[in-house]
Every structure is written in C-alpha cells, then in structure tokens.
C-alpha cells in the first residue's frame, strides 16, 4: 500500500508540474502568430500517414494535414518541428505541452476528449480487410470465419474479430505479429488470407506494393481521425477546423490522399464534415 | 488489481503455453545438447569441427533473430508446416525449433564442462577394458559428467523459461504477447498487470532453481 501511495504522490507531482506548464502558454493560435513556430507530433513509421524518409524529411497524409494547418495558422514549413508520437504517449505529449498539436492517425474518442480536445475529423475510416489481389473469396467480415487472418499485437482490431468469432477461431485462425508491416509477407506467401485493421493503415502499407493487394472496402467499425490539441483551447479548435475545411474545399485534401495512398485513394472518396463543439 | 483478477483465465492460459514451450524445448535441447557435447569430445575431427561451428554460431546469435528466422525463413519462405489448418500449432512448433536449437548450444557447453570434471583415468580405464568410444561415453563419462552439472543445467532451464517470451516475435500467444494485448485493453492498470506477469514467471522459475540445487547435492559424484 505504501508503494501505491508513493505512486499517487508521484502522479500528483507530475500533474502539478504540467498544470504549471499549461497555464503559461495560451491558445495554439496565439503561439503560432507570435512565435511563428509549432511542434507537431506525428507517426514516423506509418506508411502513407507519417513516415520518416531516408533523407530525414517526413511524408504522409498526416504530415500534409499538419503542414496545411500550420500554414493557415501563420507558421511557415520551416517553423515546424516534427516529433515522433507513439500511440501510447499522445495524450501525455499534449497535456505536458511537449507538442502543440498531434496529427497521428489519432481517433477521436469520448475517453480521450476528457484529457485533450480534438479538431476535425479530417478523415473517417473503419476496420477493413486487405487480401491478395487475386482473391475473390473474401467479400466481407463474415467470410473471415474460415480464413486465416493476421493482426498486430497490442492493437484492438484483432480483438474485435476474436470477440466476434470466439476463442477456438482465435487460436486456429488468428496470428498476431509485431506490427502490420510484418503481416504483409505472410499474406503474400499465403500463410494467411487476410489482414484486418483500419482501412487507412492497410491502404498505407499496401500502396507500397502496387497491384499485389486489394482492399475489400466494407468497413465494419467507425474511426474518426482528428487533430489533438490542449484541453479547452476553443479558439485553437475553431481555427484548425476552419483550416481543415479550407483544405477540403480547395482540393488539397483530395490531392494529398491520392498522392499518399495511390490506387487506394479511391476508398476515401469524400471528406467528412468537421465537428465543432 | 481488478484487471489481473478479471483476466486471470487468459493469464493462466498464456502461462500454460509458456510451460508447454519450455518443457518441450527443454527436452529436445537436452537430448540435442548431449549429442552435440558428444560430438565436441569425439575423436573424429569432422564431428568436433561441426559441433564447434554449430555451438559458436547459435550461441552468438540473438535468440530473436533465430526465432524470426524460424517463423519467416522456415515457416513462410520454405513453407515448413506442422498443421494445415491451425496457425497456433504451426507457430508453436516453429518457435520450439528455434528455442531448442538455441538452448541446445548452451546445454552442450554445460555438459562438455561436466565431461572435463571426469578424471582422465576413468576414460583410460574404460578404453583399457575394451569399451568403444560410444560405450565409454554412454556408460562411464556421461553419467558422471551430467551429475556434476545438474545445477548449471537448472540455470539453462530457467533461462529457457524466460526466453520463451521471445516466441511472441512470431505470434505465439504466450505470456509476453498476452501481456502486450492486456496493456491495450487496460491502459490504466499497466503496473498491476506487469507485476502479475512478473510474479507468474517467478512462480515458474524459483522452484526450478531450488529443485535443481537440491538434486545437484543429492546426485553429486563423491570423489
């Protein structure tokens, strides 16, 4: 119990510290206007969304959205510092002020809205299925019942299938690799028949190998990708939402989707409408 | 703590798989390791060379590399299959191959060090009454050698139990993989889950250390 009390005390100290950091800085809009600088959290290992290139630059849809929003807020590309955000550390990054915003395949959920706030969504996706290009037997989630499926460890997508089909199916038909990139060789060599997770992630990986894989295109869940900023930064949210809407309207959004996802861009046909709150 | 209690059936199932991996790989590597040790002390240079090369390569390669080679190299590219319709059976045996091949190198070295504890006179006496090399090894040397290295063999087995976590690299749903998945589902209980799994491994390894220590004392060759 004393150990627990220790942890609590530590946690209290940590939140106390971050609270100080937070109150010092105002809205992201003011910071962008005054400093002409922003620190943005992105993924650096997610093809099509946020990927570090060999030359040190970054490419992907999230990167494009981040640059566009920054530009609209008055920050030139040279004023952006990109920082790697992993799935598990995105909320703490924003709360502690280590980044000004996060654009990292970041799903808007009620749980997360208690800690940070979201602008967007700039994209709506769902769990989908990737199969070999010549496979015609898998048409929807039900046809996975007697197929071999690959998922990533620590991802919620394989769990959704395991809950649906039961533990015997899980043991016989589901393999969990260390990341979705590791599933591709298994799919190509017919060890598994399908990979299942967010359509966006599947499209990003598959776009690297044109003609080899195809998306089934029938999502069976809904994920909304948003831009994460500090809790209660209403003016920041509004400004980013306006920027995202402008990106939809002037065709930059479409161009960026097609550039990053290639033949799979067609699965993301129309931009969503942003949710202002 | 509730998360650990709630997930207890899954945790037990995961550790059962860990135990199966460890026991089967342990048995295979014990047999294979003794064979390798016999090769390394044999009078034939070819066998000695082959044994030395095997042990030095396997012992100096990271286990993750070996396991991933078994999964991707053997399983995916060379299409070695143990079951046509069950992925978990396939991954289980592929990782068992990797774990056994790796652990056998360590068993070999432990047994070989045991062979060196047997006085040279024993081998000379065996040869002088007309035993062949294999008979000498089987009837005289190995029984004394193995009894001398029971405690270090226990250490190798303990290392093997913990090394089974590397099988998660090719998707065997043992303790480490389940733990990773639980972190995702119970993000607020990371420390209790972590402690729960750590305790599970201690429960497995601690008695083995004690048992092998006791055995080593009882079986020691009195000289």
Contact predicate A220/A126, CB 8 Å: yes
Same domain, A65 and A198: no
Mean residue pLDDT of chain B comes to 91
Residues A57 and A110 in one domain: yes
* Residues A192, B87: C-beta atoms closer than 8 Å: yes
Q: How far apart are CA A41 and CA A148, in angstroms?
A: 35
Sheet holding A174-177, edge to edge: A174-177, A149-152, A194-198, A127-132, A213-215
Consecutive H or E run containing B60:
none
Neighbours of B185 (CB within 10 A): 15
Has residue A69 been placed in a domain? yes
Q: Report residue A51 as tokens.
A: 């990927």
- Tens of pLDDT along B169-222? 888 888 988 888 887 777 677 888 899 999 999 999 999 999 999 999 998 877
Contact A189 B183 (CB under 8 A): no
In a domain, A275, yes or no: no
- Run means of pLDDT, 10 residues per run, chain A, 277 residues: 51 46 64 88 89 89 92 90 84 88 89 87 92 90 91 84 89 88 88 91 87 89 91 90 91 90 83 84
Is B74 touching A (CB cutoff 8 A)?
no
Residue A2 lies in a domain: no
Whether residue A276 is contained in a domain is answered as: no
> What's the mean pLDDT in B40-68?
95
Q: How far is A152 from chain B (nearest CA, A)?
A: 9
Which among A159, A173, A186 has the least Cβ separation from residue B76?
A: A186
Q: Is B76 an interface residue toward A (CB < 8 Å)?
A: yes
- Looking at A215, A233, A248, the residue that finishes a domain is A215
Element (H, E) at B94: helix B87-115
Examine residue A277 and state whether it is found in any structural domain, yes or no. no
The confidence score (pLDDT) of residue A159 equals 86
Q: Is residue A103 part of a domain?
A: yes
- A229/A198 same-domain check: no
User: What does the alpha-carbon distance between residue A207 and residue A169 come to, in Å, rounded to a whole number?
Assistant: 29
CB contact under 8 A, A88 and B170: no
Mutate to test the interface with B, among A154, A157, A163, A193 (most CBs of B within 10 A): A154
- Do A254 and A198 lie in a common domain? no
Q: Could you give the number of structural domains in chain A?
A: 2
Put simply, the answer to whether B183 touches A154 (Cβ < 8 Å) is: yes
Kindly give, in sequence order, each residue whose CB lies less than 8 Å from that of residue A255, ignoring residues fewer than 6 positions away: none
User: For residue A59, what is the domain's CATH number?
Assistant: 3.40.190.10
Residues A112 and A245 in one domain: yes
Whole-angstrom Cα distance, residue B62 to residue B9? 32
Question: H helices of chain A, where?
Answer: 2-24, 28-35, 61-72, 90-95, 110-113, 156-165, 167-173, 183-188, 199-206, 234-249, 252-261
Are the C-beta atoms of A125 and A223 separated by less than 8 Å? yes
> What's residue B153's pLDDT?
94
Mean pLDDT of B40-62: 95
What is this structure's pTM? 0.75
Q: Which B residues 128-187 touch A at CB under 8 Å?
A: 168-171, 173, 177, 180-181, 183-185, 187
Q: Are residues A72 and A152 in the same domain?
A: no
- Tokens read off for A191: 């060890």
> Is this prediction's ipTM beyond 0.90?
no
Domain contains A151: yes
Burial A93-117 (b: 16+ CB within 10 A, else e): bbbeebbbbbbbbbbbeeebeeebb
Contact with chain A for residue B217, Cβ under 8 A: no
- Half-sphere exposure of residue B35, counting CA atoms within 13 Å on the CB side? 12
**Among B167, B152, B158, residue whose Cα is nearest residue B213:** B152
Residues of B in contact with A178 (CB under 8 A): 168-169
Cross-chain residue pair A153–B168, CB shorter than 8 Å? yes
Non-local CB neighbours of A40 within 8 Å, separated by 6+ positions: A66, A70, A80, A81, A82, A83, A99, A100, A101, A102, A103
Residues A206, A160, single domain; the answer is yes
Residues A232 and A116 in one domain: yes
Other beta carbons less than 10 A from residue A6's beta carbon:
10
User: Would you tell me the crossing angle of helices B8-41 and B87-115 to the nearest 10 degrees?
Assistant: 40
Question: Is A154 inside a domain boundary?
Answer: yes
Tell me the DSSP string of A2-57.
HHHHHHHHHHHHHHHHHHHHHHHS--HHHHHHHHS-EEEEE-SEETTTEEE-TTS-
Segments forming the whole domain that contains residue A135: 127-215
- How far apart (Å, rounded) are the C-alpha atoms in residues B199 and A250? 58
pLDDT at A21: 41
Cβ within 8 Å, pair A192-B177:
no
Co-location of A135 and A200 in the same domain: yes
A175·B87 Cβ contact <8 A: yes
| The pLDDT value given to residue A16 | 44
Residues A93 and A141 in one domain: no
Same domain? A111 vs A66: yes
User: For residue B153, which phi and psi values (nearest 5 degrees)?
Assistant: -65, -35
Strand-pair category, A101-102 with A38-42 = parallel
Q: Exposed (0-12), middle (13-18) or buried (19+): which is A198, by Cβ within 10 Å? A: buried
What is the average per-residue pLDDT within B46-57?
96
How far apart CA A120 and CA A273 sit, in angstroms, is 8
Query: What is the 8-class DSSP label of residue B189?
Result: G
Domains and CATH numbers, chain B: 20-171 (1.10.3720.10)
Task: Tell me: do A150 and A209 sit in the same domain.
Answer: yes
């Amino acid at each position: 119990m004393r150990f627990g009390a220790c942890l609590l005390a530590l946690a209290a100290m940590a939140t106390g510290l971050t609270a100080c950091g937070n109150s010092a800085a105002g809205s992201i809009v003011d910071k962008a206007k005054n400093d002409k600088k922003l620190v943005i959290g992105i993924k650096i290992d997610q093809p099509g969304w946020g990927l570090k290139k060999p030359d040190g630059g970054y490419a992907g849809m999230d990167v494009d959205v981040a640059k566009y929003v920054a530009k609209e807020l008055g920050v030139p590309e040279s004023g952006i510092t990109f920082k790697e955000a992993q799935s598990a550390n995105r909320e703490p990054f924003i709360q502690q002020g280590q980044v000004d915003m996060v654009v990292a395949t970041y799903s808007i959920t009620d749980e997360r809205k208690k800690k940070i706030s979201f602008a967007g969504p700039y994209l709506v996706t769902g769990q989908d299925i990737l199969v070999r290009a010549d496979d015609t037997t898998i048409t929807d989630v039900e046809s996975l019942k007697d197929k071999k499926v690959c998922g990533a460890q620590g991802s919620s997508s394989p769990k959704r299938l395991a809950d649906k089909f039961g533990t015997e199916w899980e043991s016989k038909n589901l393999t969990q690799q260390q990341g979705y990139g590791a599933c591709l060789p298994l799919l190509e060599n017919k060890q598994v028949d399908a990979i299942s997770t967010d359509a966006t992630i599947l499209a990003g990986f598959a776009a690297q190998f044109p003609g080899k894989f195809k998306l089934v295109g029938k999502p069976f869940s809904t994920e909304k990708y948003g831009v994460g900023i500090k809790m209660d930064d209403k003016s920041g949210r509004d400004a980013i939402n306006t920027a995202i809407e402008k990106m939809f309207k002037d065709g930059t959004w479409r161009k960026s989707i097609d550039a990053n996802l290639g033949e799979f861009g067609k699965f993301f046909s129309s931009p969503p409408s942003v949710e202002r709150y | 703590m509730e998360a650990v209690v709630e997930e207890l059936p899954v945790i037990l199932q995961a550790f059962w798989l860990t135990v199966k991996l460890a026991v089967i790989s342990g048995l295979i590597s014990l047999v294979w390791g003794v064979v390798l040790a016999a090769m390394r002390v044999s009078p034939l240079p070819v066998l000695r060379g082959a044994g030395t090369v095997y042990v030095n390569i396997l012992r100096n390669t990271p286990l993750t590399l070996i396991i991933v080679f078994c999964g991707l190299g053997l399983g995916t590219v060379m299409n070695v299959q143990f079951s046509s319709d069950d992925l978990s059976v396939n991954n289980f045996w592929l990782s068992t191959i990797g774990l056994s091949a790796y652990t056998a190198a360590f068993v070999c070295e432990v047994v070989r060090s045991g062979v060196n504890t047997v006085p040279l006179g024993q081998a000379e006496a065996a040869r002088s009454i007309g035993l062949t090399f294999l008979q000498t090894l089987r009837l005289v040397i190995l029984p004394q050698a193995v009894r001398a290295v029971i405690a270090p063999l226990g250490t190798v087995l303990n290392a093997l139990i913990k090394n089974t976590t590397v099988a998660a690299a090719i998707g065997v749903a043992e303790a480490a993989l389940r733990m990773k998945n639980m972190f995702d589902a119970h993000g607020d209980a990371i420390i209790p889950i972590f402690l729960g799994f750590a305790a599970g491994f201690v429960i497995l390894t601690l008695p083995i250390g004690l048992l092998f220590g006791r055995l080593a004392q009882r079986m020691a060759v009195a000289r």
